[in-house]
Amino acid sequence: MGPFEYRDHELHCEGVALAKIAEEVGTPVYVYSRGEIERAYRAFDAALEGIPHEICYAVKANSTLGVLGVLVQLGAGADIVSIGEMYRWLRAGGDPAHVVFSGVGKTETEMKTALGAGIGAFNVESGEELTVLDRVAQSAGKRARVSIRVNPDVDAETHPYISTGLKTNKFGVTMGEARELFRSAAKMRGIEVVGVDCHIGSQLTKTSPFTDAIARLVELVQQLAKDGVKLRHVDIGGGLGIDYGKGETIPTPAEYGMAVRTALKPLTSLGITLFTEPGRVLVGQAGALVTRVLYRKHNEAKHFTIVDAAMNDLMRPALYGSFHPIDPVENPDRPKITTDVVGPICETGDFFARDRSLPALEPGELVSIGACGAYGSAMASNYNTRPRAPEVLVSGSSFTVIRTRETYEQLVANERLG
Protein backbone atom coordinates (compact mmCIF):
# COMPACT_ATOMS: atom_id res chain seq x y z
CA MET A 1 0.00 0.00 0.00
CA GLY A 2 1.43 3.35 -1.05
CA PRO A 3 0.51 6.61 0.64
CA PHE A 4 -1.67 7.61 -2.35
CA GLU A 5 -4.44 5.09 -2.99
CA TYR A 6 -7.93 5.01 -4.46
CA ARG A 7 -10.79 4.42 -2.05
CA ASP A 8 -14.15 4.16 -3.76
CA HIS A 9 -12.62 5.52 -7.00
CA GLU A 10 -11.32 8.60 -5.17
CA LEU A 11 -7.62 9.22 -4.71
CA HIS A 12 -6.61 9.69 -1.08
CA CYS A 13 -3.42 10.60 0.72
CA GLU A 14 -3.53 8.37 3.79
CA GLY A 15 -7.09 8.94 5.07
CA VAL A 16 -7.76 12.26 3.35
CA ALA A 17 -9.40 12.69 -0.07
CA LEU A 18 -7.23 14.84 -2.35
CA ALA A 19 -10.44 16.49 -3.57
CA LYS A 20 -11.11 17.73 -0.04
CA ILE A 21 -7.66 19.31 0.21
CA ALA A 22 -8.04 20.94 -3.22
CA GLU A 23 -11.41 22.33 -2.24
CA GLU A 24 -10.08 23.88 0.98
CA VAL A 25 -6.64 25.03 -0.15
CA GLY A 26 -7.06 25.48 -3.90
CA THR A 27 -4.83 24.22 -6.73
CA PRO A 28 -2.05 23.68 -7.53
CA VAL A 29 -1.11 22.26 -4.13
CA TYR A 30 1.65 19.98 -2.87
CA VAL A 31 0.37 17.18 -0.63
CA TYR A 32 2.72 15.11 1.55
CA SER A 33 2.15 11.98 3.59
CA ARG A 34 3.79 12.12 7.01
CA GLY A 35 3.41 8.35 7.33
CA GLU A 36 5.35 7.77 4.12
CA ILE A 37 8.27 9.97 5.22
CA GLU A 38 8.36 8.04 8.49
CA ARG A 39 8.19 4.70 6.70
CA ALA A 40 10.97 5.65 4.28
CA TYR A 41 13.24 6.96 7.03
CA ARG A 42 12.76 3.87 9.17
CA ALA A 43 13.37 1.55 6.22
CA PHE A 44 16.61 3.36 5.38
CA ASP A 45 17.71 3.34 9.02
CA ALA A 46 16.86 -0.36 9.40
CA ALA A 47 18.84 -1.18 6.25
CA LEU A 48 22.00 0.10 7.97
CA GLU A 49 21.33 -1.66 11.27
CA GLY A 50 24.47 -3.04 12.86
CA ILE A 51 26.72 -0.47 11.18
CA PRO A 52 27.36 2.58 13.38
CA HIS A 53 25.74 5.25 11.23
CA GLU A 54 24.25 8.72 10.94
CA ILE A 55 21.58 9.71 8.45
CA CYS A 56 22.06 13.32 7.35
CA TYR A 57 18.95 14.19 5.35
CA ALA A 58 19.82 16.22 2.23
CA VAL A 59 17.77 19.32 2.99
CA LYS A 60 17.82 20.49 -0.62
CA ALA A 61 15.45 17.66 -1.65
CA ASN A 62 12.60 19.27 0.28
CA SER A 63 13.36 22.13 2.64
CA THR A 64 9.85 23.11 3.76
CA LEU A 65 9.86 23.58 7.55
CA GLY A 66 6.96 21.21 8.11
CA VAL A 67 8.80 18.44 6.24
CA LEU A 68 12.07 19.15 8.06
CA GLY A 69 10.14 18.96 11.33
CA VAL A 70 9.11 15.38 10.56
CA LEU A 71 12.74 14.42 9.89
CA VAL A 72 13.93 16.17 13.06
CA GLN A 73 11.41 14.15 15.05
CA LEU A 74 12.66 10.96 13.45
CA GLY A 75 16.17 11.76 14.69
CA ALA A 76 17.78 12.68 11.38
CA GLY A 77 20.82 14.91 10.98
CA ALA A 78 21.14 17.19 7.96
CA ASP A 79 23.29 17.65 4.88
CA ILE A 80 23.13 21.32 3.92
CA VAL A 81 24.50 23.16 0.89
CA SER A 82 23.92 26.73 2.08
CA ILE A 83 23.49 28.72 5.26
CA GLY A 84 19.89 29.27 4.21
CA GLU A 85 19.36 25.53 4.60
CA MET A 86 21.06 25.59 8.01
CA TYR A 87 18.73 28.40 9.04
CA ARG A 88 15.72 26.29 8.03
CA TRP A 89 17.07 23.18 9.79
CA LEU A 90 17.59 25.08 13.04
CA ARG A 91 14.17 26.75 12.72
CA ALA A 92 12.64 23.26 12.42
CA GLY A 93 14.33 22.29 15.70
CA GLY A 94 17.30 20.43 14.17
CA ASP A 95 20.55 19.89 16.06
CA PRO A 96 23.55 21.76 14.55
CA ALA A 97 25.94 19.09 15.85
CA HIS A 98 24.45 16.66 13.33
CA VAL A 99 24.81 18.95 10.33
CA VAL A 100 27.32 18.39 7.52
CA PHE A 101 27.90 21.25 5.10
CA SER A 102 28.52 20.28 1.44
CA GLY A 103 29.05 22.37 -1.69
CA VAL A 104 31.89 23.59 -3.90
CA GLY A 105 31.33 27.29 -3.25
CA LYS A 106 31.00 28.06 0.46
CA THR A 107 31.68 31.73 1.19
CA GLU A 108 33.75 32.94 4.16
CA THR A 109 30.59 34.37 5.71
CA GLU A 110 28.89 31.00 5.43
CA MET A 111 31.91 29.28 6.98
CA LYS A 112 31.94 31.72 9.90
CA THR A 113 28.21 31.32 10.52
CA ALA A 114 28.38 27.51 10.37
CA LEU A 115 31.37 27.47 12.75
CA GLY A 116 29.51 29.74 15.12
CA ALA A 117 26.52 27.40 15.11
CA GLY A 118 28.81 24.46 15.88
CA ILE A 119 28.01 22.22 12.91
CA GLY A 120 29.25 18.64 12.83
CA ALA A 121 31.53 18.84 9.79
CA PHE A 122 32.40 20.73 6.64
CA ASN A 123 32.59 18.58 3.52
CA VAL A 124 35.51 20.41 1.91
CA GLU A 125 35.66 20.20 -1.87
CA SER A 126 39.00 21.79 -2.83
CA GLY A 127 42.47 22.72 -1.62
CA GLU A 128 41.67 26.42 -1.86
CA GLU A 129 38.51 26.00 0.19
CA LEU A 130 40.51 24.15 2.85
CA THR A 131 43.03 27.02 3.09
CA VAL A 132 40.26 29.59 3.49
CA LEU A 133 38.41 27.49 6.08
CA ASP A 134 41.64 27.08 8.09
CA ARG A 135 42.11 30.86 8.13
CA VAL A 136 38.45 31.59 8.99
CA ALA A 137 38.50 29.04 11.83
CA GLN A 138 41.77 30.33 13.27
CA SER A 139 40.59 33.91 13.30
CA ALA A 140 37.41 32.76 15.08
CA GLY A 141 39.56 30.89 17.62
CA LYS A 142 38.03 27.57 16.54
CA ARG A 143 38.90 24.35 14.79
CA ALA A 144 36.68 23.30 11.91
CA ARG A 145 35.87 19.61 11.73
CA VAL A 146 36.54 18.61 8.14
CA SER A 147 35.70 15.76 5.87
CA ILE A 148 37.33 15.98 2.44
CA ARG A 149 35.09 15.22 -0.51
CA VAL A 150 36.80 13.05 -3.06
CA ASN A 151 35.69 12.45 -6.60
CA PRO A 152 35.98 8.69 -7.04
CA ASP A 153 35.55 8.90 -10.82
CA VAL A 154 32.74 6.37 -11.09
CA ASP A 155 29.84 6.56 -13.49
CA ALA A 156 26.58 6.82 -11.56
CA GLU A 157 24.73 5.94 -14.79
CA THR A 158 22.06 8.52 -14.15
CA HIS A 159 20.99 11.77 -15.86
CA PRO A 160 24.16 13.78 -16.71
CA TYR A 161 22.89 16.82 -14.75
CA ILE A 162 22.66 14.78 -11.53
CA SER A 163 25.80 12.72 -12.06
CA THR A 164 28.48 14.16 -9.78
CA GLY A 165 31.22 11.57 -9.28
CA LEU A 166 33.04 11.78 -12.59
CA LYS A 167 36.41 13.45 -13.22
CA THR A 168 34.63 15.86 -15.55
CA ASN A 169 32.30 17.08 -12.75
CA LYS A 170 33.10 20.08 -10.53
CA PHE A 171 32.74 18.15 -7.27
CA GLY A 172 35.40 17.02 -4.80
CA VAL A 173 39.13 16.46 -5.26
CA THR A 174 40.67 13.68 -7.35
CA MET A 175 41.79 10.49 -5.66
CA GLY A 176 45.35 11.44 -6.59
CA GLU A 177 45.13 14.82 -4.83
CA ALA A 178 43.25 13.51 -1.82
CA ARG A 179 46.04 11.77 0.08
CA GLU A 180 48.31 14.83 -0.04
CA LEU A 181 45.47 17.17 0.88
CA PHE A 182 44.59 15.05 3.92
CA ARG A 183 48.21 15.14 5.07
CA SER A 184 48.42 18.90 4.82
CA ALA A 185 44.96 19.33 6.42
CA ALA A 186 46.14 17.27 9.39
CA LYS A 187 48.84 19.90 10.03
CA MET A 188 46.54 22.96 9.87
CA ARG A 189 45.80 24.60 13.23
CA GLY A 190 42.27 25.60 12.27
CA ILE A 191 41.34 22.19 10.92
CA GLU A 192 40.47 18.91 12.58
CA VAL A 193 40.28 16.12 10.02
CA VAL A 194 37.36 13.82 10.84
CA GLY A 195 36.28 12.10 7.65
CA VAL A 196 36.22 11.44 3.97
CA ASP A 197 33.20 12.09 1.82
CA CYS A 198 31.80 11.46 -1.63
CA HIS A 199 28.48 11.84 -3.42
CA ILE A 200 28.38 10.38 -6.88
CA GLY A 201 24.96 11.40 -8.12
CA SER A 202 21.23 11.20 -7.69
CA GLN A 203 18.46 8.82 -8.76
CA LEU A 204 20.86 5.85 -8.93
CA THR A 205 19.17 2.67 -10.04
CA LYS A 206 21.97 0.20 -9.29
CA THR A 207 24.13 -0.55 -6.27
CA SER A 208 27.36 -1.08 -8.23
CA PRO A 209 28.29 2.63 -8.56
CA PHE A 210 27.94 2.96 -4.77
CA THR A 211 30.09 -0.07 -4.07
CA ASP A 212 32.69 1.01 -6.66
CA ALA A 213 32.91 4.41 -4.98
CA ILE A 214 33.11 2.88 -1.50
CA ALA A 215 35.93 0.58 -2.63
CA ARG A 216 37.96 3.64 -3.60
CA LEU A 217 37.19 5.36 -0.29
CA VAL A 218 38.21 2.23 1.61
CA GLU A 219 41.55 2.17 -0.19
CA LEU A 220 42.13 5.83 0.66
CA VAL A 221 41.19 5.37 4.32
CA GLN A 222 43.68 2.48 4.58
CA GLN A 223 46.45 4.54 2.97
CA LEU A 224 45.70 7.43 5.32
CA ALA A 225 45.83 5.14 8.34
CA LYS A 226 49.37 4.24 7.25
CA ASP A 227 50.18 7.94 6.95
CA GLY A 228 48.98 8.43 10.53
CA VAL A 229 45.76 10.24 9.56
CA LYS A 230 42.93 8.58 11.50
CA LEU A 231 39.40 9.19 10.30
CA ARG A 232 36.23 8.94 12.38
CA HIS A 233 33.73 8.72 9.58
CA VAL A 234 33.19 7.77 5.97
CA ASP A 235 30.38 9.68 4.25
CA ILE A 236 29.00 8.01 1.14
CA GLY A 237 26.58 10.79 0.22
CA GLY A 238 23.04 10.19 -0.97
CA GLY A 239 21.69 9.24 -4.34
CA LEU A 240 19.57 6.12 -3.95
CA GLY A 241 16.80 6.36 -6.53
CA ILE A 242 13.04 5.93 -6.25
CA ASP A 243 10.44 4.36 -8.49
CA TYR A 244 8.86 7.01 -10.71
CA GLY A 245 6.55 4.43 -12.25
CA LYS A 246 8.45 4.14 -15.49
CA GLY A 247 9.14 0.46 -15.04
CA GLU A 248 12.74 0.64 -13.80
CA THR A 249 13.79 -1.59 -10.95
CA ILE A 250 15.41 0.36 -8.15
CA PRO A 251 17.40 -1.29 -5.36
CA THR A 252 15.45 -1.24 -2.10
CA PRO A 253 17.07 0.40 0.93
CA ALA A 254 17.64 -3.14 2.25
CA GLU A 255 19.55 -4.13 -0.92
CA TYR A 256 21.50 -0.89 -0.77
CA GLY A 257 22.27 -1.54 2.91
CA MET A 258 23.57 -5.03 2.14
CA ALA A 259 25.81 -3.75 -0.64
CA VAL A 260 27.16 -0.92 1.53
CA ARG A 261 27.79 -3.28 4.43
CA THR A 262 29.83 -5.64 2.26
CA ALA A 263 31.83 -2.83 0.66
CA LEU A 264 32.69 -1.33 4.07
CA LYS A 265 33.80 -4.65 5.63
CA PRO A 266 37.54 -3.92 5.30
CA LEU A 267 37.12 -0.93 7.63
CA THR A 268 35.35 -2.78 10.46
CA SER A 269 38.39 -2.90 12.72
CA LEU A 270 39.00 0.86 12.36
CA GLY A 271 35.89 1.84 14.34
CA ILE A 272 34.56 4.14 11.64
CA THR A 273 31.04 5.61 11.58
CA LEU A 274 29.14 5.59 8.29
CA PHE A 275 27.51 8.88 7.28
CA THR A 276 24.85 8.96 4.56
CA GLU A 277 23.12 11.93 2.94
CA PRO A 278 19.86 10.61 1.48
CA GLY A 279 17.33 13.09 0.11
CA ARG A 280 15.05 11.76 -2.62
CA VAL A 281 14.63 8.28 -1.13
CA LEU A 282 13.28 9.72 2.14
CA VAL A 283 10.72 12.19 0.77
CA GLY A 284 10.22 11.51 -2.96
CA GLN A 285 7.33 9.07 -2.75
CA ALA A 286 5.65 11.05 0.02
CA GLY A 287 4.51 13.92 -2.19
CA ALA A 288 2.08 14.67 -4.99
CA LEU A 289 1.29 17.86 -6.85
CA VAL A 290 -2.47 18.19 -7.21
CA THR A 291 -3.60 20.34 -10.11
CA ARG A 292 -6.83 21.09 -11.96
CA VAL A 293 -7.51 20.62 -15.65
CA LEU A 294 -8.27 23.92 -17.37
CA TYR A 295 -8.67 23.11 -21.05
CA ARG A 296 -8.09 20.57 -23.77
CA LYS A 297 -7.03 21.23 -27.30
CA HIS A 298 -5.92 19.15 -30.21
CA ASN A 299 -4.57 19.52 -33.68
CA GLU A 300 -3.70 16.95 -36.36
CA ALA A 301 -0.52 15.99 -34.52
CA LYS A 302 -1.28 16.24 -30.84
CA HIS A 303 -3.75 16.26 -27.99
CA PHE A 304 -3.00 18.59 -25.07
CA THR A 305 -4.40 18.67 -21.56
CA ILE A 306 -3.72 22.06 -19.99
CA VAL A 307 -3.57 22.14 -16.18
CA ASP A 308 -3.18 24.95 -13.66
CA ALA A 309 0.25 23.80 -12.40
CA ALA A 310 3.31 24.75 -14.40
CA MET A 311 7.05 24.26 -14.69
CA ASN A 312 7.57 26.91 -12.00
CA ASP A 313 5.79 24.56 -9.55
CA LEU A 314 7.53 21.36 -10.69
CA MET A 315 10.62 21.83 -12.78
CA ARG A 316 11.91 18.26 -13.06
CA PRO A 317 10.28 17.40 -16.41
CA ALA A 318 11.56 20.64 -17.98
CA LEU A 319 15.03 20.33 -16.44
CA TYR A 320 15.74 16.62 -16.80
CA GLY A 321 12.94 15.33 -19.00
CA SER A 322 11.76 13.40 -15.94
CA PHE A 323 8.84 11.02 -15.87
CA HIS A 324 6.20 11.43 -13.14
CA PRO A 325 3.13 9.24 -12.72
CA ILE A 326 -0.12 11.09 -13.44
CA ASP A 327 -3.52 9.98 -12.21
CA PRO A 328 -7.01 11.43 -12.18
CA VAL A 329 -8.18 12.16 -8.64
CA GLU A 330 -11.58 10.62 -9.39
CA ASN A 331 -12.77 7.66 -11.48
CA PRO A 332 -9.53 6.25 -12.89
CA ASP A 333 -11.33 3.52 -14.86
CA ARG A 334 -12.17 5.29 -18.09
CA PRO A 335 -11.21 4.92 -21.73
CA LYS A 336 -7.70 6.24 -22.33
CA ILE A 337 -6.33 8.72 -24.81
CA THR A 338 -2.80 9.80 -25.64
CA THR A 339 -2.12 13.33 -24.50
CA ASP A 340 0.55 15.83 -23.45
CA VAL A 341 -0.09 17.27 -19.99
CA VAL A 342 1.14 20.86 -20.04
CA GLY A 343 1.09 24.02 -17.95
CA PRO A 344 0.09 27.57 -18.86
CA ILE A 345 3.62 28.99 -19.23
CA CYS A 346 4.86 30.21 -22.58
CA GLU A 347 7.73 27.70 -22.86
CA THR A 348 7.68 24.43 -24.74
CA GLY A 349 9.52 22.99 -21.73
CA ASP A 350 6.43 23.59 -19.62
CA PHE A 351 5.12 20.03 -19.63
CA PHE A 352 4.48 17.22 -17.14
CA ALA A 353 3.98 14.37 -19.59
CA ARG A 354 4.38 13.79 -23.30
CA ASP A 355 2.38 11.34 -25.39
CA ARG A 356 1.07 9.72 -22.23
CA SER A 357 -1.80 7.26 -22.27
CA LEU A 358 -4.22 8.59 -19.63
CA PRO A 359 -7.91 8.40 -18.84
CA ALA A 360 -9.48 11.18 -20.93
CA LEU A 361 -9.43 14.15 -18.57
CA GLU A 362 -12.20 16.73 -18.52
CA PRO A 363 -11.95 20.45 -17.77
CA GLY A 364 -12.47 21.19 -14.08
CA GLU A 365 -11.33 17.82 -12.80
CA LEU A 366 -8.36 17.20 -10.51
CA VAL A 367 -5.17 15.40 -11.43
CA SER A 368 -2.40 14.10 -9.20
CA ILE A 369 1.22 14.24 -10.36
CA GLY A 370 2.99 11.64 -8.24
CA ALA A 371 6.44 11.15 -6.70
CA CYS A 372 6.87 14.91 -6.27
CA GLY A 373 8.09 15.00 -2.67
CA ALA A 374 11.72 15.52 -3.67
CA TYR A 375 13.02 18.36 -5.85
CA GLY A 376 9.46 19.58 -6.38
CA SER A 377 8.58 22.48 -4.09
CA ALA A 378 12.27 22.99 -3.32
CA MET A 379 12.97 23.91 -6.96
CA ALA A 380 9.81 25.99 -7.42
CA SER A 381 10.13 29.57 -8.62
CA ASN A 382 7.95 32.59 -9.27
CA TYR A 383 8.50 32.55 -13.02
CA ASN A 384 5.59 34.25 -14.78
CA THR A 385 4.84 35.92 -11.40
CA ARG A 386 3.08 32.80 -10.26
CA PRO A 387 2.80 32.56 -6.47
CA ARG A 388 4.38 29.36 -5.19
CA ALA A 389 1.89 26.61 -4.38
CA PRO A 390 0.80 25.86 -0.83
CA GLU A 391 1.97 22.67 0.86
CA VAL A 392 -0.07 20.33 3.00
CA LEU A 393 1.05 17.59 5.37
CA VAL A 394 -1.38 14.71 5.84
CA SER A 395 -1.30 12.57 8.92
CA GLY A 396 -3.93 9.84 9.11
CA SER A 397 -7.32 11.43 8.60
CA SER A 398 -6.27 15.03 9.15
CA PHE A 399 -4.08 17.53 7.35
CA THR A 400 -2.13 20.70 8.14
CA VAL A 401 -1.27 23.51 5.75
CA ILE A 402 2.49 23.71 6.35
CA ARG A 403 2.95 26.50 3.83
CA THR A 404 0.25 28.85 2.59
CA ARG A 405 0.00 30.00 -1.00
CA GLU A 406 2.17 33.06 -1.63
CA THR A 407 0.37 36.37 -2.04
CA TYR A 408 1.04 38.95 -4.74
CA GLU A 409 2.03 41.37 -1.96
CA GLN A 410 4.76 38.91 -0.87
CA LEU A 411 5.97 38.57 -4.44
CA VAL A 412 6.74 42.28 -4.74
CA ALA A 413 7.62 42.95 -1.08
CA ASN A 414 11.34 43.53 -1.78
CA GLU A 415 10.83 45.63 -4.91
CA ARG A 416 10.81 49.39 -5.43
CA LEU A 417 10.13 51.61 -8.41
CA GLY A 418 13.52 52.90 -9.60
Ligand X SMILES: *Cc1c(COP(=O)(O)O)cnc(C)c1O
* Total Cβ atoms within 10 A of residue 415: 7
Tell me which residues in 239-278 interact with ligand X (CB under 6 A).
239, 277-278
- Compare residues 94 and 278 and give the one whose CB is closer to ligand X: 278
Which listed residue (11, 13, 22, 61) binds ligand X by CB under 6 A?
Answer: 61
Interaction of residue 153 with ligand X, rule CB under 6 A: no
User: Is residue 158 involved in binding ligand X (CB under 6 A)?
Assistant: no
* Piece of 237-245, 252-260, 333-341, 346-354 that binds ligand X (CB under 6 A): 237-245
Nearer to ligand X, 64 or 202 (CB): 202
Binds ligand X by CB under 6 A, chosen from 88, 106, 199, 388: 199
- 77 near ligand X (CB under 6 A): no
| Catalytic residue of the set 13, 198, 346, 372 | 346
- CA–CA gap between residue 28 and residue 313 (Å, rounded): 8
From candidates 120, 152, 237, 251, binder to ligand X by CB under 6 A = 237
Amino acid at 52: P
Task: Select the residue interacting with ligand X from 33, 147, 151, 202 (CB under 6 A).
Answer: 202
Q: Tell me the chain's radius of gyration from C-alpha atoms.
A: 23
Q: Are 14 and 395 in contact, with CB atoms under 8 Å apart?
A: yes
Q: Output the smallest distance, CB 324 to ligand X, in A.
A: 16
Nearer of residues 283 and 329 to ligand X, judged by Cβ: 283
Among 293, 413, 310, residue whose Cα is nearest residue 365: 293
Which neighbouring-strand residues pair with 148?
Answer: 124, 196
Q: Which stretch binds ligand X (CB under 6 A): 231-239, 287-295, 306-314, 393-401?
A: 231-239
Q: Does 53 bind ligand X (CB under 6 A)?
A: no
Instruction: Note whether 209 binds ligand X by CB under 6 A.
Output: no
In angstroms, what is the minimal distance from the CB of 331 to ligand X? 34
The nearer residue to ligand X, 57 or 352, going by C-beta atoms, is 57
CB of 167 to ligand X, least distance (A): 17
What residues form DSSP beta bridges with 357? Answer: 338
Does the N-terminal peptide bond of residue 28 adopt cis geometry, omega within 30 degrees of 0? yes
Complex with ligand X: residue 206 or 280, whichever CB lies closer: 280
Catalytic annotation on 346?
Answer: yes
Separation of alpha carbons 353 and 323, rounded Å = 7
Instruction: Give the shortest CB-32-to-ligand X separation in angstroms.
Output: 16
C-alpha to C-alpha distance for 161 and 201, rounded to whole angstroms: 9
Q: Which is nearer to ligand X, 256 or 352 (CB)?
A: 256
SS (H, E, C) 111-170: HHHHHHHCCCEEEECCHHHHHHHHHHHHHCCCCEEEEEEEECCCCCCCCHHHECCCCCCC
Alpha-carbon distance of 4 to 233, in angstroms, equals: 37
Using the rule CB under 6 A, which residue among 12, 145, 206, 280 binds ligand X?
280
CB atoms < 10 A from the CB of 333, how many?
8
What DSSP string runs through 214-283?
HHHHHHHHHHHHHHT---SEEE----B----SSS-----HHHHHHHHHHHHGGGGGGTPEEEE---HHHH
Among 48, 58, 78, 115, binds ligand X (CB under 6 A): 58
28, 238, 253, 257: residue in contact with ligand X (rule CB under 6 A): 238
| Calpha distance 118→94 (Å, rounded) | 12
What is the spatial distance between Cα 86 and Cα 121, in angstroms, rounded to a whole number?
13
**Distance separating alpha carbons of residues 342 and 251, to the nearest angstrom:** 31
For residue 165, state whether it binds ligand X (rule: CB under 6 A): no
- The answer to whether residue 206 forms part of the interface with ligand X (CB under 6 A) is no
Segment lying near ligand X (by CB under 6 A), choices 129-137, 223-231, 235-243, 326-334: 235-243
Instruction: Tell me which residues in 88-117 interact with ligand X (CB under 6 A).
Output: 102
Query: By C-beta, is 156 or 288 nearer to ligand X?
Result: 156
> Cβ closer to ligand X: 63 or 202?
202
Q: Which of residues 366-385 bind ligand X (CB under 6 A)?
A: 374
C-alpha count within 13 angstroms, C-beta hemisphere, residue 63: 20
| Interface ranges with ligand X (CB under 6 A) | 58, 60-61, 79, 102, 199, 202, 237-239, 277-281, 374
Catalytic residues: 346
